[in-house]
Amino acid sequence: MKIPKSITSEGPFAIGIPAIVWQVLFFCLPILLIVITSFIEFSEIGEVLGFTFEKITYFFNPIYFRVIGLSFALALSNALICFSLAYPLAYFLAFRGRRFKSVLLFFLLIPFWTNFLLHVYAWFYVLEKHGFVNNLLLSLGIIQEPLVLLNTPIAIMIMMAYYYLPFMVLPIYSSLERFNPSLIEASYDLGASWFQTFRQIILPLTMRGIRAGFFLVYIPSFGEFAIPGLMGGDKIMFVGTVVSEFILAEGTGSLGAAFMVISGALLLISAIFFYFLLGRLSGRAHG
């Protein structure tokens, strides 16, 4: 009888095969096809004519630079807004939540179980001309005329932050949850103030959670097209909007692929940059 050398050497690899096949078939191959499509010239009837850079250079145009720039701004600002809301929330849940912890986490997760479009319509009611926000501000006398909120960048940002917040809270919460509170006590005891303790002990030790949350929010936010479309009234074009328009329009699918490759490559570069930036912040607090 053949006995495996160790459990880790043979068993799990076999278990992983279906997932690997799935990844290759439905992720790696499609990405490869998209990349290839971006560099190949087709005839009207779909014959391959040769290699080309034209589809890439087509987007060397200030209009598209602006689109990509706006997408970066959207992704980064959403990640920062989510972080600044999520960290205090996660900190509170982990250290002050006590027995309400699970209930509070449950409230945080409830929106995930409701349909996305329902959220959007709910926010319409909140933000529309005679909606909740305007009525509240009018009745308090803070404003005299209803504000225009729908179809503005503000509406987009509110919905983005609302939708992506749990993705930031959960990884930060789980890293704070595992945090050994006596480290905080030790830091105070050695003469550190709350801020010094936060900066030198808590923040670096929860950086894994922050980094995970950052990428869970930053990367999908970059390609987001449903929220800007619905909340922004299609007035502002982002990468996701442009790609979807090229793909859905007749005969421009390969241009959409090319734009995806360009913006995807830039996103990857920025992600690597942020990965190391956040890593540096977590490292030695003193040089």
Write out the residues near other proteins by the rule CB under 8 A: 180, 182-183, 185-193, 196, 200-201, 204-205, 282, 284, 286
Would you say 179 or 259 has its CB closer to other proteins?
Answer: 179
Would you say 77 or 196 has its CB closer to other proteins?
Answer: 196
Would you say 45 or 190 has its CB closer to other proteins?
Answer: 190
CB of 285: closest distance to other proteins in angstroms? 8
- Name the strand (E) or helix (H) holding 58: none
Residues 6 or more apart in contact with residue 259 via CB below 8 angstroms: 59, 64, 239, 242, 243, 246
CB of 201: closest distance to other proteins in angstroms? 6
CA atoms of 29 and 164, how far apart (whole Å): 29
CB of 56: closest distance to other proteins in angstroms? 43
CA dihedral sign, ordered 74, 216, 120, 103: negative
CB of 192: closest distance to other proteins in angstroms? 5
Would you say 37 or 187 has its CB closer to other proteins?
Answer: 187
Contact 210, 172 (CB under 8 A): yes
Name the CA dihedral angle for 100, 101, 107, 113, rounded to a multiple of 10 degrees. -130
Quick check: helix, strand or coil at residue 259?
helix
CB of 48: closest distance to other proteins in angstroms? 53
CB of 199: closest distance to other proteins in angstroms? 11
Interior/surface letters 6-35, b for 16+ CB within 10 angstroms, e for the rest: eeeeeeeeeeeeeeeeeeeeeeeeeeeebb
Would you say 18 or 181 has its CB closer to other proteins?
Answer: 181
CA atoms of 251 and 271, how far apart (whole Å): 32
Would you say 40 or 192 has its CB closer to other proteins?
Answer: 192
